[in-house]
Amino acid sequence: MFSLDIRLSKNSKIPWRLIEGEALLIDGEEGELIRLNQVGSEIWEAIDGRRTIVELTTHIVERFDVSERRASKDVHRFIKLLLRHELVEPNEVMNTR
């Protein structure tokens, strides 16, 4: 399990493009083309190294008008998949106080 306070960055070794609203990622190590659906593409685009998991969930709630519970489940499941395949990297949140 991961902390909700981490920020994620895309793995810089994974080339990707947004085509007609869907993100296409190329996992060179696995030799795979990964095609993300609309929600996955929205999460992928929102991963910018600054947003926490909580902020990503809020973004999905606002963007797709879904419940926070549903968005949270979907975001967590998707983030676990991205982490497992090393498509994103966690960055610890720095305390700015």
* pLDDT, tens digit (0-9, with 9 covering 90-100), for 40-55: 999 999 999 999 999 9
Each as own residue / partner, the long-range contacts of residues 10-17 (CB below 8 Å, 24 or more positions apart, any chain) are 10/44, 10/47, 10/87, 10/88, 10/89, 11/86, 11/87, 11/88, 11/89, 14/87, 16/44
Q: Would you give the distance in Å from CA 91 to the centre of its chain?
A: 13
* Helix (H) or strand (E) segment spanning residue 19: strand 16-19
* pLDDT, tens digit (0-9, with 9 covering 90-100), for 50-95: 999 999 999 999 999 899 999 999 999 999 999 998 999 988 544 4
